């Protein structure tokens, strides 16, 4: 009787790319905690994070053939797929509608349980209004939405150098206000 090949660290990637479910199980056990931590950090929602973790592993399984060990570690590839999935979700209409349709109780609970930085506490929103609109956009995406400068460039359809210049100018203006 021929059984499935034994999964070892050496052949894990080969077995995974070949569609061996034992390899996927091994990868899930080894990496699901780290991926879940990343997802919950991005979304801030435990229930949605569990759903996104499941979607991430489905995507990882389906795209296993795309993984190239020559370009980086398996974990790096998986975390990038997962992060992109989360960002796509946060940009989706489904997410935006769910935020609009929260019940009052859920909204109050999320405010009570949240320990997120609130710029209103120090009047940061008022300070940002002193900046030109294009600088406000860059600061908002960077510091309040967690976008990288490259992502801001893509989102606003402007050159990366322009994003960097606007961010630098905005931070210099804000620095003068605080000094």
Same structural domain, 23 and 67 = yes
User: What is the pLDDT at residue 100?
Assistant: 56
Q: What share of the chain is helix, strand, coil (3-state, %, to 5)?
A: 75, 0, 25
User: What is the pLDDT at residue 9?
Assistant: 56
User: What is the pLDDT at residue 95?
Assistant: 61
Domain total of the chain:
2
User: What is the pLDDT at residue 90?
Assistant: 83
**What are the pLDDT digits (tens) for 50-64?**
999 999 988 988 888
Instruction: Mark the ranges of the chain whose per-residue pLDDT is less than 70.
Output: 1-10, 93-124, 178-179
CATH of the domain at 84: 1.10.1740.10
The answer to the question of residue 3 being in a domain is no
Structural domain span for residue 163: 117-178
User: What is the pLDDT at residue 117?
Assistant: 47
Same structural domain, 84 and 129 = no
Whether the CB-CB separation of 39 and 52 falls below 8 Å is answered with yes
């Amino acid at each position: 009787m021929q059984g499935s090949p034994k999964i070892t660290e050496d052949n894990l990637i080969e077995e995974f790319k070949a569609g061996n479910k034992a390899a996927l199980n091994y990868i899930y056990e080894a990496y699901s905690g780290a991926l879940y931590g990343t997802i919950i950090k991005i979304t801030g929602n435990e229930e949605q994070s569990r759903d996104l973790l499941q979607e991430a592993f489905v995507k990882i399984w389906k795209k296993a053939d795309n993984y190239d060990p020559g370009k980086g570690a398996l974990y790096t590839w998986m975390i990038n797929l997962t992060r992109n999935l989360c960002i796509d979700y946060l940009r989706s209409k489904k997410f935006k509608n769910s935020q609009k349709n929260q019940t009052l109780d859920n909204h109050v609970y999320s405010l009570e349980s949240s320990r997120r930085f609130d710029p209103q506490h120090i009047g940061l929103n008022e300070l940002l209004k002193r900046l030109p609109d294009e600088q406000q956009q860059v600061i908002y995406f960077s510091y309040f939405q967690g976008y990288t400068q490259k992502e801001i460039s893509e989102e606003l359809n402007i050159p990366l150098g322009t994003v960097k210049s606007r961010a630098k100018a905005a931070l210099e203006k804000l620095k003068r206000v605080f000094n």
